[in-house]
């Protein structure tokens, strides 16, 4: 693969942009190579500045469930841009999208638009603390909920512990009220709540973990969390920034039949434009200013371009064949795993809806500790070889592959053909 123009752009970018990228994982440091710069994208394919067309399994990290540059979505954006790109005042499409989201998500009665998933989770945490009058929050090891200070925590061994900052610049006092437990471990959660339950405002959880690779909730896990939070008066908050409108049109909460108190969104609800949102029961959301006393604001929140893109996207997804896509992806990833196993590799895979992850390990994966045991060196070789053959994958073993409705049988077959050429 020719990467000359990408290499030149990356060298230039490093002079004016920290690390040469505007979000860390794009730098490809985990796989010890430089990033590809993209010139354009359409459907299931992206084209690099060097003219290489690749099959895209990143999908802008989740938003592009319809594929890139969907005609109806781009038309909606173009028409909106012709009417003005930002008003700093309410517009009708905000109402339409809010109604669409509330109708689709079982536990969302009211919703507030923001500009990113990070904004959404920060705001939801503030609201939960205001509602409960408590300070502590719980998240799982390896769970990512944006880069707000309270969420950037790492922890020592043990079932549950107070956190220490996971990055310079975050004071220890900021994360001292962040508690951690393993994903899929109800017993650890019960022990933590028995000790700290009276002080816990919220349990933040990706109902399907998507930022430690794809890790699925075990039978009864989400219902167990719902029961524990109800027992102790803590708010259960589903981070559906990834899963919202992807694991089903009704989100993970609809698919699994569990109603959280609050939900955070991003990605798909903006049709590929920058967006975020948080919502939930009206009794809680009415605490948000100006209806209530919990302050949160954003100059570009409810941006008309993002709202139109989101509305167009959800309008199409509402009529889409999620089950058909899930079946196709399941067949594909099973075949991909079999090809790799045929090369003598230990491979586990997880799959739900249009997402999947391959883990190069011989042990089942149920939490972050299991994920960390997978081979990073084999993944690096897999990534580099597949990229060279025009298969665009996430440059991190801790991310989830995303498939769109635009992916074709030819895309899947070409990917399998590339995998058959791999050498380890």
Token pair recorded at residue 97? 């999208």
Give the C-alpha separation, 91 to 109, whole Å: 20
Look-up of token digits 């597949």: 386
Q: Is 144 a catalytic residue?
A: yes
Give the C-alpha separation, 221 to 252, whole Å: 13
34 neighbors 83 (Cβ within 8 angstroms): no
Alpha carbon of residue 232 to chain centroid: 28
Burial of 133 (0-12, 13-18, 19+ CB in 10 A): exposed
List, in order, residues 6 or more apart from 329 with CB less than 8 Å away: 351, 353, 354, 355, 356, 403
Cα-Cα-Cα-Cα torsion 260, 262, 265, 270, nearest 10 degrees, comes to 120
List, in order, residues 6 or more apart from 330 with CB less than 8 Å away: 351
* Residue of 136, 267, 281, 328 marked catalytic: 267
Look-up of token digits 């605490």: 287
Give the C-alpha separation, 63 to 310, whole Å: 10
273 neighbors 300 (Cβ within 8 angstroms): no
What does 100-160 look like in DSSP terms, one character per residue? Answer: HHHHHSTT-SEEEEESSHHHHHHHHHHHHHHHHT--EEEEETT----S-GGG-EE--SSSS
Give the C-alpha separation, 113 to 269, whole Å: 10
Token pair recorded at residue 387? 């990229």
User: In what order do the strands lie in the sheet containing 348-352?
Assistant: 348-352, 355-359, 401-402
Q: Is 267 a catalytic residue?
A: yes
How large is the angle between the packed helices 92-104 and 304-317, nearest 10 degrees? 40
The most distant pair of C-alpha atoms in the chain lies apart, rounded to whole Å, by 60
Q: Is 363 a catalytic residue?
A: no
Nearest to 248 by CA among 317, 334, 311: 317
* Residue of 56, 144, 370, 383 marked catalytic: 144
Cross-strand bridge partners of residue 264: 239, 278
* Residue of 177, 185, 239, 411 marked catalytic: 239
As annotated, the active-site residues are: 144, 239, 267
């Amino acid at each position: 693969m020719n990467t000359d123009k990408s290499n030149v752009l990356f060298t230039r970018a490093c002079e004016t942009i920290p690390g040469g990228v505007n979000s860390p994982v794009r730098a490809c440091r985990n796989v010890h190579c430089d990033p590809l710069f993209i010139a354009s994208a359409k459907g299931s394919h992206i084209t690099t500045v060097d003219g290489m067309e690749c099959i895209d399994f990143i999908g802008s990290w989740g938003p592009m469930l319809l594929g890139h540059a969907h005609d109806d979505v781009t038309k909606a954006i173009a028409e909106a841009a012709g009417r003005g790109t930002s008003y700093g005042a309410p517009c009708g499409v905000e109402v339409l999208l809010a109604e669409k989201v509330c109708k689709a998500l079982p536990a969302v009665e009211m919703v507030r638009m923001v500009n990113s998933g990070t904004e959404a989770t920060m705001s939801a945490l503030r609201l939960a603390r205001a509602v409960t009058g408590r300070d502590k929050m719980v998240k799982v090891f390896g769970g990512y909920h944006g880069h707000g200070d309270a969420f950037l925590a790492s922890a020592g061994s043990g079932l549950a512990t107070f956190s220490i900052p996971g990055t310079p610049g975050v004071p220890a006092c900021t994360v001292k009220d962040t508690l951690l437990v393993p994903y899929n471990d109800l017993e650890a959660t019960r022990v933590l709540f028995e000790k700290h339950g009276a002080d816990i405002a919220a349990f933040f959880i990706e109902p399907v973990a998507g930022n430690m690779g794809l890790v699925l909730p075990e039978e009864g896990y989400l219902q167990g969390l719902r029961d524990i939070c109800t027992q102790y008066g803590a708010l259960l908050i589903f981070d559906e920034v990834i899963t919202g409108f992807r694991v089903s049109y009704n989100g993970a909460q609809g698919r699994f039949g569990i109603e959280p108190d609050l939900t955070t969104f991003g990605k798909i609800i903006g049709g590929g434009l920058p967006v975020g949102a948080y919502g939930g029961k009206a009794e809680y959301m009415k605490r948000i200013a100006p209806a209530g006393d919990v302050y949160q604001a954003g100059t570009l929140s409810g941006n008309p371009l993002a709202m139109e893109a989101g509305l167009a996207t959800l309008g199409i997804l509402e009529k889409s064949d999620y089950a058909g896509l899930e079946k196709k992806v399941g067949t594909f990833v099973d075949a991909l795993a079999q090809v790799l196993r045929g090369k003598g590799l230990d491979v586990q895979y997880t799959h739900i809806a249009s997402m999947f992850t391959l883990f190069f390990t011989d042990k089942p994966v149920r939490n972050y500790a299991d994920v960390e045991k997978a081979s990073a060196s084999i993944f690096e070789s897999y990534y580099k070889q597949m990229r060279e053959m025009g298969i665009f994958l996430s440059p991190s073993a801790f991310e989830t592959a995303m498939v769109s409705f635009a992916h074709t049988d030819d895309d899947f077959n070409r990917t399998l053909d590339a995998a058959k050429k791999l050498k380890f």
